Structure formats: structure tokens, C-alpha cells
Amino acid sequence: MTFALRHEDLHEAALDTEVPNRLPDLLAEAFGGRSAVLSWTQIDGSSDVLAYSDLSPEMMADYVGVFAPHDVWSIKAMSAPHANQMICDQDCLSSSEFKSTVFYNDFIRAHGEHIFHVLGGSQTSPFGAGLLGIYRNRGDEPFNGDDKTRLTEVMREVRGALMLRGRLAAAQRPASVQRAAWDATNLASLIVRADGRIAQHNAAAEAVLQRADGLRSVKNVLRAVSREQQSRLTRAIRLATAPTQPSGSALRVETPAGAEYLISVAPISRRSGPSLALVLFKDPLAPPDSLRGQLQDIWGLTPHEALVAAELAQGRAIADIARRRGVLESTVKTQLKAISGKMQCRGQAELIAKMFRLP
């Protein structure tokens, strides 16, 4: 059963960013649908779900992360001759064809859903395409030509809001990509204010702060465990955030277990706002798996050679490496000779320096 949409309700819901799912709720009810989804396809092909109704967050996350490129309905809606027009599932492919798709079997059915019929379309722009889909379950009556005509009228009301939401999604995408790249690095980094208050930090820094063995967060303020080391950390941050001629510095923070953090603190240039400092260090307890993988990929080291090189980069002596691996020192020396040849280094110092240049 459907109901008539009032223009004022539709326009208000289209612009309502506080309750983003209100528009899909209205559209699903107006067209007798089970659910509705507003999504955005970036110009690079990636997708964002802008708003949805009566579907699970897990399903939408799975759509964005895996199945958007397999959405046969959206692909058809954005391609000629269907772009910028309203379509039904019958305009895209037959029921038997849809039942054989990855999108239906591995996505819709895998999430325990029964949606099978679609009414919707795309609105293209230079910065991406907005997509609307209204869905009915298998066994329900399919959408028809009258539904397409009605939805064409409705899209005149929501097209502007869809484009606006798409622009916002496109603008936010670079920030999310940058954040993901920041979290992907093994180098722990924090951005702090002059008083040590943490403004931002990446995943590697979060792991260290949660461990709280040498550095920790106390009411969101970066602190060293010992009082003496805290005074050095405070001085380094103050130097980096000085209002005139800020400068970088370095310090060493030891853990009770004997590990050490070698920390660099550098000023961040800003035209306005409070002064900030960038705190960088490597987690001494982080597993060297990523380094070993890089050594194998770039220079063709064997797994055993990569392990020896990684331990050397951690500052371990040949005797210690041999003892830890249960082999003779001569064996480690032979492996180091092979490693130096593959990496085109003339000694341990050059070998270590090359490894420290890896990202």
C-alpha cells in the first residue's frame, strides 16, 4: 500500500542531515517498498552509503567494502541508456539472470535478506553519481511503469539534496583516505598541543598508549612514565610549539622492562590556531613482520635472511642473534654476507641505514 508524498515533507526530509534515514523511510513507504537506499559512487569507482532504511549497518558496510562493484542494478542505472532516468529491475535483467549473480547470492542472500525487485535510478555529475534504490522482497509485486513515472516526479525534489550529500561525501573521502594511510604506517605518531594535550594520533601510537609502559595518556595528555623523562618530554614539546622560532629535538624514554623509545619532536607550521608539535617514534615492541616482508619483497631475501636482517635493525649483536636462533655465529655471519650482497651493501652500518630508509 502506498501513500501520497507531500512536497514540503519530501523537501524537508531531503535536506535533513540530522535524521539522514528519514528520506529513505518516506520513499520506501510512498512506493510500497520494503527498504530504500541513497548511495554515492565516487569518480574513482568507490562507493558511500548516504542513507538507508530497514537494512542492517553490517550489510551496508559489507556493500561499501566488498559488493558495490558487483551491484548489477547500480551498474545498469549508471550506464547508457539508463543514466539519469528511473528504471525497474525488469529494465536491467531478467529474474533468472539476477538469481545467478554474485550480488544476489553472496550479498543479499548471505545477509538473510529477500530483496529482489528495485525501483530507482542515477543522477550523474562531474564529481560522481548519486543513486536511489527502493526495494521489494521476492514474492512481492514488481514495480511498474506507473511507479517509474511517479519516481521521476519525486526525483525533481530530491535531486539537489542528493547532489549536495554527494559533494559532502566526495569532500570527506580524501580525509578518510589520509586517515587510513596514517593508521597503516608502523611509525607511531601523535599531534600534541603546547601543554602536551593529544589532538590526534594514529593506530601505532594508540597501541603504545594503551600499553602504558613508557608513554601513556593521562586525561588525554601525553605523559612519560618517569618524572625525569617527563621533564625532557615537556621541554621538547615546548621547544616545538614556541610562538617564535620553534625547533625540533629528540629524546630517549626507557621502559621499566628495559626497552627504549627514541622520540623525535618537530614543530608543525600553521598560519592560525594553537601551536602544535609532531611526536614520532617506533614502537620497540612492535613485531618486525612488516620489515621482514619488505626485505623479502624488495631484495629477495629468504625468510631466514629477512629475520636476521630485521633483528640486526633492532640493534641486536651477531652473538645475540645466533643465541636466539640456536645457530652458530659463523652461520649468522654467512647469512649477513649473503644479505649484504643482495642489498648491495658493503657493511653492517650501510645495511642498517638502508633498512631505516624503508617506509
* Nearest of 117, 121, 122 to residue 143 by alpha carbon: 117
pLDDT computed for residue 232 by the predictor: 94
Q: What are phi and psi of 201, to 5 degrees?
A: -160, 155
Cα(250)–Cα(255) distance, integer angstroms: 17
CATH architecture of 185-282: 2-Layer Sandwich (3.30)
How confident is the model over 137-148, as pLDDT tens digits?
999 999 999 999
Least confident of 15-29, 135-149, 190-204, 209-223: 15-29
CATH architecture of 289-356: Orthogonal Bundle (1.10)
CATH 3.30.450.20 spans which residues of the chain? 185-282
CATH 3.30.450.40 spans which residues of the chain? 7-181
Mean predicted confidence (pLDDT) in 313-342: 86
pLDDT band at 65 (very low <50, low <70, confident <90, very high): confident
pLDDT computed for residue 31 by the predictor: 92
pLDDT at 306 over 80: yes
* Alpha helices (H) along the chain: 7-15, 22-30, 57-62, 72-78, 89-92, 95-99, 102, 145-184, 203-211, 227-240, 289-299, 303-313, 318-325, 329-343, 348-356
C-alpha cell at 328: 652458530
Task: Provide, rounded to the nearest whole percent, the portion of the chain with pLDDT above 90.
Answer: 37
Cα(262)–Cα(239) distance, integer angstroms: 17
CATH number of 7-181: 3.30.450.40
Q: What is the pTM of this model?
A: 0.50
Task: Provide, rounded to the nearest whole percent, the portion of the chain with pLDDT above 70.
Answer: 86
Cα(275)–Cα(159) distance, integer angstroms: 42
CATH 1.10.10.10 spans which residues of the chain? 289-356
pLDDT at 318 over 80: yes
pLDDT computed for residue 101 by the predictor: 93
Mean predicted confidence (pLDDT) in 40-47: 79
pLDDT at 186 over 90: no
Cα(209)–Cα(196) distance, integer angstroms: 14
Q: Count of H helices and E strands in the chain?
A: 15, 12
